[in-house]
Amino acid sequence: MWSFREAPPEFRELFPEGGDADWVAHVPPPQRGVLEPLMRLWNGVYPIQSTELPDRSVTYWGAPRRAMQLIAKQGKSGASRPPAGRERRAGGRTQIVCPSRYETHSEPRQAGTGHTIDMSDAGIAFTTESLLPPDAMITLHVTWPVRLEGDVPVELSATGRLARTEATRAALRLDSVSFSIAE
């Protein structure tokens, strides 16, 4: 498995819509039976596509940042449009209110809980317990509104730098995102 930009060119070419935040995996024929059900399971959380190669191996492409688009399409939230004239964000936002917890990476370390306000594939706005330092690196853990088959909870982990901070709100500019089974 590789990040999209580090994948061999012949695999990247199979998925022209791929971006830097995506991943690519090449699965030899013997492992297909084990991995295909897992890929189908996660496809409900974010888009995963596959291509079978002549040797019967499969190359998968996953786009975790596009999870917000799936939520909006499934009607699990309402798309939000910020007030005209003040908007500087390039990406469209989707209202997603989910429990979250955060931790800063710089001293003094701060941690707390809150909830998300809205998201896009470029950033997440969320509530905080206190004012966070401007431009701080932060990890935000979000209880995802989509569960895996069998009612298994999913968590989004997002890391990046704060773009805005207010007394009890902040906005994170995404550097990386990943999904895992919540504990």
Of 177, 181, 160, the closest CA to residue 64 belongs to 177
Across all residues in the chain, what is the average pLDDT?
Answer: 88
Strands (DSSP E) found in 15-168: 23-27, 48-52, 58-62, 79-80, 93-95, 99-104, 111-119, 123-127, 137-143, 154-165
In this structure, the answer to whether residues 97 and 177 fall within a common structural domain is yes
Q: pLDDT > 70: what percent of the chain?
A: 90
The better pLDDT of the pair 78, 179 is held by: 179
In this structure, the answer to whether residues 56 and 97 fall within a common structural domain is no
Q: What pLDDT shows up at residue 76? A: 54
The better pLDDT of the pair 91, 161 is held by: 161
In this structure, the answer to whether residues 25 and 96 fall within a common structural domain is no
C-alpha separations of 77 from 102, 118, 120, 125, 183 in Å: 22, 10, 13, 15, 24
Q: Which domain holds residue 111?
A: 76-81+91-181
Residue 135 lies in a domain: yes
Model's pTM, two decimal places? 0.81
| pLDDT single digits (tens) 107-165 | 889 999 999 999 988 899 999 999 999 999 999 999 999 999 889 999 999 999 999 99
Provide the domain count of the chain: 2
Q: What pLDDT shows up at residue 79? A: 39
